[in-house]
Amino acid sequence: MQPKPTQRPLFVPTETVGVAVRTPDQLLVGFLHARPQKRLKDELNGNSEHFLALTAARVYDGAGTRLLYESSVVLLDSGSIVSVTPLNSIGPSAAAWSKPLAVTPEPAAKA
């Protein structure tokens, strides 16, 4: 058996969208990466992948009051997502999770 040659994946341009993602027992806040010129709804509906990546993520308990952990990337099972809300559509709030996200991450270089 011959080893497969390693190929560099093609770069897919994306735009980052700050979102709040609700699962049955957690609230996640971070950046979702979507293809340019696509509505977030279309990106989520047209995604054939089983997992979605959320970067610069903060993960809170279900009530959104206690920060459980922070991570540079969280992979979400698309079947466990209850709702996705763009942060720019949420009004000012005193909630702990509503503090601004870190600076928009640079696209990661694919290895």
Report if pTM > 0.85. Answer: no
Would residue 99 count as lying in a domain?
no
**Per-residue pLDDT averaged across 63-76, rounded?**
92
Question: Using an 8 Å Cβ cutoff, are 68 and 99 in contact?
Answer: no
Residue 25's CATH number: 2.30.30.100
Would residue 4 count as lying in a domain?
no
> Is it the case that residue 97 has pLDDT exceeding 90?
no
> Is it the case that residue 104 has pLDDT exceeding 60?
no
Range of the domain at 28: 15-82
Please spell the DSSP secondary structure of the chain, one letter per residue.
-PPPPP-PPPP---EEEEEEEE-SSEEEEEEEEE-TT--HHHHHHT--SSEEEEEEEEEEETTS-SEEEEEEEEEEEGGG--EEEEGGGSPP---GGGSPPSSPPPPPPP-
pLDDT attached to residue 70: 95
Tens of pLDDT along 12-67?
677 888 999 999 999 999 998 877 777 777 777 766 667 888 999 999 999 888 99
pLDDT attached to residue 111: 44
Would residue 10 count as lying in a domain?
no
Name the more confident of 34 and 11. 34
pLDDT attached to residue 47: 65
CA-wise closest residue to 49 among 28, 76, 84, 22: 76
pLDDT attached to residue 109: 45
Count of structural domains within the chain: 1
